[in-house]
Structure 1
Amino acid sequence: MNRTEDIHQAGSSDLVECGVIPHQVTLRERPVLTVLASVHFIHIMDFMMMLPLGPQFIKLFDVTPQQFGMLISAYAFSAGVCSFLASFFIDRFDRRHVLILLCAGMGIATLICALATDYTMLLLGRIVAGGFSGMLSAIIFAIVADIIPEHRRGVATGTVMSAFSIVAVVGMPIGMLLVNLIDWRAPFYLLTAVSCLMMVVALRVLPSLRDHLIHHQERHPVRQLRAIFWVRNHLYAFALIAMLMFAGFSVSPFISTYMVINVGMAEIDLPYLYFFGGLATFFAARMLGRLADLHGKRKIFGVTAALSVFPILLLTHLSPVPTVFAVGIATLFMMLVSGRFVPAMALVTASVTPRLRGSFLSFNISVQQLSAGSASLLAGSIMGISANGALTHYDSVGVIAAIATVLSILLAVKVDSYQE
């Protein structure tokens, strides 16, 4: 039986100063983190499930690359705007109630997507899903910051973030299996059911999380914005993340569509892209985290980001090749493009004083989502469909992504770490 670590009532203002909220009841960390990771899994899979469905939507709804890019960017823009707005009021409520309410909203959003009969209804579903996803991200990491001491918060964050790899290795293959056996709606019905299940589990497992209300200090929104955005180092950190998201999400939403239409991969083989990519990312992320601790975040980020330029260009210039080779290139792309976020996020998180870190990270989620949305929108507007049905100008998108990656390396040099 796994040992469960407990957090007991501390009663000291020192704990509040270092970022841990004292709780009036004993909290069992592991079940709470499991619930948070499971909820994180839902909205990550909801987003990622759209990526391999590009070929389906092009055939069923007769959408163009621009319209498919809009499905991705609308989700990201909605998530960015909602997480930004949520950062001003989300601390006023019991976090348990907020999480359960947002989980219900996520279930409704995935149901709208599953019931969509045309492009407009699907777009509406993606906007609603994006809004709830952005707020879910904010509340999940706020709970982690509230209940986990700083010296163990990295491991706890890694536990929650492991949902991404689980989605790629387990969720996506199951989702694509349902698509192949039933239709494209099946994964969204599944996510609706899982959302309802997690509401019940969260209701039973999560205790009331209200103690942050006792220690919460109201800050005028304008003062909060000034504290975050009037510091040059913060702006460099935001710019670094923006460039990374732009580089990744100008390419990744169209990988599946490009692989099927241009490279000649069978749709039934698409799960292999995400299975091997997720598996490689799972191990690479941990290795890069250890290397960043040993050799410095900035140095490891620079090396990883520079190496990621090669699979970006290879993938976006790929012609018809055997499936094994295509999967290998895509795996290298996912491993390095996702892996470079590990040292980058460590660098960005260290760039701000602990007093402002919670608000800073909420705004950081907004920057990430808005950058991802802009990238998808721009890439979709650049790409087109030739007379024979192939995607065009994906190679140009790859060059833009490579340039954005180089700019991110230059920006990383400007980001200084706050000395605690």
Structure 2
Amino acid sequence: MSRSEKLLLLVLACLNFTHIMDFMIMMPMGPQLMRYFHLSPQQFSFIVSAYSLSAGISGFAFSFFADRFPRKYILLIAYSGFVIGTLGCGLAPTYNLLVVARTAAGMFGGIIGAQVLSIVSDTFPYERRAQAMSIVMTAFSVASVLGVPVGLYLATEFSWHAPFLAVGAMGVLVIGLVWAYVPLLDGHLLRGEQRPNAFSVITNIWHNPNQLRALWLTGTIMLGHFSIIPFISPYLVANVGFSENNLYLIYAVGGALTIFSAPVVGKIADKRGKLPVFTVFAVLSLLPIYLITSMPPASLTYVLFVSGLFFIFSNGRLIPTQAMTASVVTPQQRGGFMSINQSLQLLMQSVATYGAGLIIQKSPNGQLQNYWLVGLLAMVAIFASIFIARTVQPIDAPISATAEV
């Protein structure tokens, strides 16, 4: 990997860090926000789903134009809007204004993820793509190890506003890095009469069963994954007896483990095949889903062990998934397709989160009920995704890699 490639991945990882941090910090702050605003599980799930819903809608709308401009310009505009929205979250004084600010942040955040994946896919060939994806995704691990604990500390010492203001301030610095070090990336642009109409991204997907199956895979995984994610912290505090002051340990331990596991998974996926690696981690991820959603009162050590497994297996499942879905289109169509893919991903996150909020009930003593049922539905979705993944065929894979699948 050349110096310029490493520098590009580092900048994208920094951008991803703030983007993921903004989203992740909502989960462990769930107990604090529910107490501060006197929220029900449904109201809390609406804060989380408001971001995903607006991001999904904006990502879909922008997909019609994503391949008509250089990647760098799109990334700069979308990320700048996201930073402004995040600062708005930090300044919001009421529940309603927080929902509005989360919606605004999601409107721009919904464009970012697809552009990052498109930039990586345009820059790195299929045989090196999973490793590159894993490096960018270490931002998730660093956000878990450093971002969430620091964010929770700021929320505890100052207020829940502080983490959003800190992420917004870091975002201003990252804008400068993107401007200075991300190349223009306009090689995918077609000129004059060669340029397709704005709605071709929809017709291309509709007439391409392989792309439809890739979107089906994304939606199914998100339904399973995000039905349980937002309620892990509230459930552990209310039902398992886990201390609110120790919530940061879940993210710190899980993130630290994935810092080491993610690059290894990426290398193995490039060497052994994306589908086999995805299948293994999808099956393994079923165990911690069951253990978390049906957990009785337990010790700190046991909770950290199970949550660590959840982080490793879920992250390991995601890396080959992203490499596979980004490889079902040509570079000229990739930005639009990845925007649609990201939009679907966010919409399914919203549906899963809000749906779980409707199933989960709060008992008079404050405990959450029916989380086990949400976990069972999540396991069914993840298991089904294994069979969907077997039908997705990367079009830019080498012959040997395709044969391996």
TM over 0.5: yes
Alignment partner, residue 386 of structure 2: 409
Paired residues, number: 396
Please report how far the alpha carbon of residue 284 of structure 1 lies from its aligned counterpart in structure 2 after TM superposition: 2.7
- Is the Cα–Cα contact under 8 Å of residues 275 and 390 in structure 2 kept in the other structure? yes
Alignment partner, residue 82 of structure 1: 58
Please report how far the alpha carbon of residue 193 of structure 1 lies from its aligned counterpart in structure 2 after TM superposition: 0.9
More moved, 134-143 vs 78-87: 134-143
Alignment partner, residue 192 of structure 1: 168
Identical aligned residues as a percent: 39
Q: Which has the larger radius of gyration?
A: 1
More moved, 131-140 vs 89-98: 89-98
Please report how far the alpha carbon of residue 300 of structure 1 lies from its aligned counterpart in structure 2 after TM superposition: 2.7
- Is the Cα–Cα contact under 8 Å of residues 304 and 339 in structure 1 kept in the other structure? yes
Whether 1:68 aligns to 2:39 is no
1:314 to 267, 291, 297: 291
Distance across 1 between alignment mates of 2:176 and 2:150: 23
Alignment partner, residue 38 of structure 1: 14
Distance across 2 between alignment mates of 1:370 and 1:119: 22
Alignment partner, residue 14 of structure 1: none
SS in 2 for 1:340: helix
1:144 to 112, 120, 124: 120
- Letter of the structure 1 residue corresponding to residue 87 of structure 2: L
SS in 2 for 1:78: helix
Whether 1:249 aligns to 2:252 is no
Distance across 1 between alignment mates of 2:272 and 2:76: 41
More moved, 175-184 vs 149-158: 149-158
SS in 1 for 2:59: helix
- Is the Cα–Cα contact under 8 Å of residues 127 and 270 in structure 2 kept in the other structure? no
SS in 2 for 1:319: coil
1:132 to 102, 108, 113: 108
Alignment partner, residue 401 of structure 2: none
Distance across 1 between alignment mates of 2:186 and 2:265: 36
Alignment partner, residue 374 of structure 1: 351
1:52 to 28, 32, 48: 28
Alignment partner, residue 202 of structure 2: 225
- Is the Cα–Cα contact under 8 Å of residues 56 and 347 in structure 2 kept in the other structure? yes
SS in 2 for 1:258: helix
Whether 1:181 aligns to 2:189 is no
Distance across 2 between alignment mates of 1:292 and 1:34: 21
- Is the Cα–Cα contact under 8 Å of residues 244 and 408 in structure 1 kept in the other structure? yes
More moved, 225-234 vs 379-388: 225-234
1:161 to 122, 137, 141: 137
- Is the Cα–Cα contact under 8 Å of residues 103 and 198 in structure 1 kept in the other structure? no
- Is the Cα–Cα contact under 8 Å of residues 311 and 333 in structure 1 kept in the other structure? yes
Alignment partner, residue 100 of structure 1: 76
1:261-300 matched pairs, under 5 angstroms: 261-300=238-277
- Letter of the structure 1 residue corresponding to residue 319 of structure 2: V
- Is the Cα–Cα contact under 8 Å of residues 67 and 333 in structure 2 kept in the other structure? no
1:393 to 345, 348, 370: 370
TM-score (norm 2): 0.90
Distance across 2 between alignment mates of 1:313 and 1:232: 33
- Is the Cα–Cα contact under 8 Å of residues 113 and 125 in structure 1 kept in the other structure? yes
Distance across 2 between alignment mates of 1:303 and 1:212: 34
Distance across 2 between alignment mates of 1:101 and 1:357: 19
Distance across 2 between alignment mates of 1:329 and 1:302: 20
- Is the Cα–Cα contact under 8 Å of residues 18 and 171 in structure 2 kept in the other structure? yes
Alignment partner, residue 333 of structure 1: 310
- Letter of the structure 2 residue corresponding to residue 138 of structure 1: A
Distance across 2 between alignment mates of 1:39 and 1:325: 33
SS in 2 for 1:219: coil
Distance across 1 between alignment mates of 2:82 and 2:19: 7
| CA separation of 1:180 and 1:305: change in aligned 2, threshold 3 A | same
Please report how far the alpha carbon of residue 392 of structure 1 lies from its aligned counterpart in structure 2 after TM superposition: 1.0
Structure 2 gap segments, 5+ residues each: 399-405
| CA separation of 1:346 and 1:204: change in aligned 2, threshold 3 A | closer
More moved, 195-204 vs 364-373: 195-204
TM-score (norm 1): 0.87
SS in 2 for 1:102: helix
- Letter of the structure 1 residue corresponding to residue 50 of structure 2: A
Please report how far the alpha carbon of residue 404 of structure 1 lies from its aligned counterpart in structure 2 after TM superposition: 0.7
Distance across 1 between alignment mates of 2:72 and 2:340: 21
Distance across 2 between alignment mates of 1:264 and 1:111: 33
| CA separation of 1:315 and 1:44: change in aligned 2, threshold 3 A | same
- Is the Cα–Cα contact under 8 Å of residues 64 and 200 in structure 2 kept in the other structure? no
- Is the Cα–Cα contact under 8 Å of residues 228 and 356 in structure 1 kept in the other structure? no
SS in 1 for 2:195: coil
Alignment partner, residue 22 of structure 1: none
| CA separation of 1:200 and 1:341: change in aligned 2, threshold 3 A | closer
- Is the Cα–Cα contact under 8 Å of residues 141 and 258 in structure 2 kept in the other structure? yes
SS in 1 for 2:242: coil
Question: 1:73-102 CA deviation, whole Å, 9 max, x = no partner?
Answer: 111111111122222223444544433333
Distance across 1 between alignment mates of 2:71 and 2:323: 25
| CA separation of 1:215 and 1:268: change in aligned 2, threshold 3 A | farther
Distance across 2 between alignment mates of 1:49 and 1:361: 25
Report the RMSD for the aligned CA atoms in angstroms.
Answer: 2.4
SS in 1 for 2:390: helix
Distance across 1 between alignment mates of 2:125 and 2:380: 39
SS in 2 for 1:388: coil
Distance across 1 between alignment mates of 2:98 and 2:384: 35
Please report how far the alpha carbon of residue 150 of structure 1 lies from its aligned counterpart in structure 2 after TM superposition: 5.8
- Is the Cα–Cα contact under 8 Å of residues 379 and 397 in structure 1 kept in the other structure? yes
Distance across 2 between alignment mates of 1:150 and 1:75: 32
- Is the Cα–Cα contact under 8 Å of residues 84 and 168 in structure 2 kept in the other structure? yes
Distance across 2 between alignment mates of 1:210 and 1:233: 26
